[in-house]
Amino acid sequence: TIDNVLDLEKLAVLGHGHGATVYKVRHKNSANIYALKVLRFDEDVMKIQQQAAVREAEILKRLDSDLIVKCYGGVFDNQFLDTDNGGDLCFVMEYMESGSLLDVLSICHTLPEKVISVVARRVLEGLQYLHGMQIVHRDIKPSNLLINSKGELKIADFGVSRVVATTNEEREWCVGTCAYMSPERFDSERWNGGDCDGFAGDVWSLGVVVLECFVGRYPLIVPGQKLDWATLMCAISFGEKMVLPDKASPEFRTFVWRCLEKDWRVRGTVEELLDHPFVTTCCSGPVEGLLGNASEPSFGLKVASQF
């Protein structure tokens, strides 16, 4: 556990999310490299929400799986960013050298089915682990699927999104994250009514991600359509199920259909989908064999040229 951010030396900025910045850092004593996610908390954020965030970090620290980006600690600190605006919440995480699936897609645009099937199986295995721990991720999307130098894909950032959602940037955040949200999560009555546990929402999000990998753009709205909350909500809750291009295999079609079933009660479960031919017949082994050496800076381009 790392509980003092002053032991960390900032090396570079890895990326910006809504309400957060992720740094590459070195632990001064051990020289180990980590990723440090710093969430900016506005002063008007309630103490109770800060406490919830720290509790969340405690849960994350207890998770230990190769399928999940490891979290080594979460602390409040106002010294790391040299600001004096109250507390910033810092999460020390495993450093994932090759960035996110979003980075891969921004270079490759689309991925072949055999790569998508490996991604799908990794995410399903990760969800099986999380759900087994009674944790719903709630924010499965390309930027939260990270790849290390060995080409292994892992799930990052559960719970963190709930923390971010309480800041002023909620609206902006929502468009980024609502895009992968299931119909039942827009239906607050049912969501709050207690009969929906939320696990099925993670399966929906996976369906959107794999479809996006295949068609090369966010798949639930037509290109050029305005991307705001209302448009997204209508498309997700009432839009026709997308017809996949002819080149998609029957296995891929039925897999996506089971994930994107609007009624969460009949949607495919993680267990069912782990047995689906789309993932059981895929090339075994981690993403590495398919994606080449992910530690090289040209990784994404290599992926693109390989297919």
26 backbone dihedrals φ, ψ, rounded to 5°: -115, 135
Residue type, 231: T
Tally of CB atoms within 10 A around 118: 24
* Of the candidate residues 73, 74, 99, 300, the single one contacting ligand ATP (CB under 6 A): 99
Over the window 155 to 194, marking each residue x when it contacts Mg ion by CB under 5 A and - when it does not, the resulting string is --x-------------------------------------
Residue 139 a catalytic site member = yes
Residue 121 or 138 with smaller CB distance to ligand ATP: 138
Catalytic residue among 139, 157, 263, 275: 139
* Of the candidate residues 25, 71, 75, 95, the single one contacting ligand ATP (CB under 6 A): 95
* Of the candidate residues 98, 144, 148, 177, the single one contacting Mg ion (CB under 5 A): 144
Residue 114 is assigned to a ligand binding site: no
Considering only residues 189-218, where is the footprint of ligand ATP by CB under 6 A?
Answer: none
Cα–Cα distance for residue pair 254/260, rounded to 1 Å: 10
Q: Which span (143-151, 186-194, 261-269, 276-284) binds ligand ATP, by CB under 6 A?
A: 143-151
Residue type, 251: E
246 backbone dihedrals φ, ψ, rounded to 5°: -55, -30
Q: Which span (48-56, 96-104, 225-233, 258-266) binds ligand ATP, by CB under 6 A?
A: 96-104
Q: Residue 304 CB, nearest distance to Mg ion (Å)?
A: 23
Expressed in angstroms, the distance from the first to the final Cα of the chain is 41
77 backbone dihedrals φ, ψ, rounded to 5°: -155, 140
C-alpha distances (whole Å) from 137 to each of 83, 112, 205, 231, 303 are: 31, 26, 10, 24, 28
Q: Which span (94-102, 112-120, 223-231, 249-257) binds ligand ATP, by CB under 6 A?
A: 94-102
* Of the candidate residues 86, 176, 198, 277, the single one contacting ligand ATP (CB under 6 A): 176
C-alpha distances (whole Å) from 215 to each of 27, 193, 301 are: 41, 35, 18
- Rg value, the chain, Cα: 19
Q: Which span (25-33, 54-62, 98-106, 227-235) binds ligand ATP, by CB under 6 A?
A: 98-106
Cα–Cα distance for residue pair 150/70, rounded to 1 Å: 15
Give yes or no for a contact between 268 and 261, defined as CB atoms under 8 angstroms apart. Answer: yes
List the alpha helices (DSSP H) in 133-249. Answer: 160-164, 170-178, 183-186, 188-193, 199-215, 229-238
Residue type, 83: T
* Of the candidate residues 144, 166, 167, 182, the single one contacting ligand ATP (CB under 6 A): 144
* Of the candidate residues 93, 220, 270, 282, the single one contacting ligand ATP (CB under 6 A): 93
- DSSP labels, 238-265: HSPPPPPPTTS-HHHHHHHHHHT-SSTT
Residue 210 or 294 with smaller CB distance to ligand ATP: 294
Over the window 21 to 50, marking each residue x when it contacts ligand ATP by CB under 6 A and - when it does not, the resulting string is -x------------x-x-------------
Catalytic residue IDs: 139
Q: Which residues are annotated as a binding site?
A: 37
Which residues in this chain contact ligand ATP in the complex, by CB under 6 A? 14-18, 20, 22, 35, 37, 69, 93-96, 99-100, 102-103, 143-144, 146, 156-157, 161, 173, 176-177
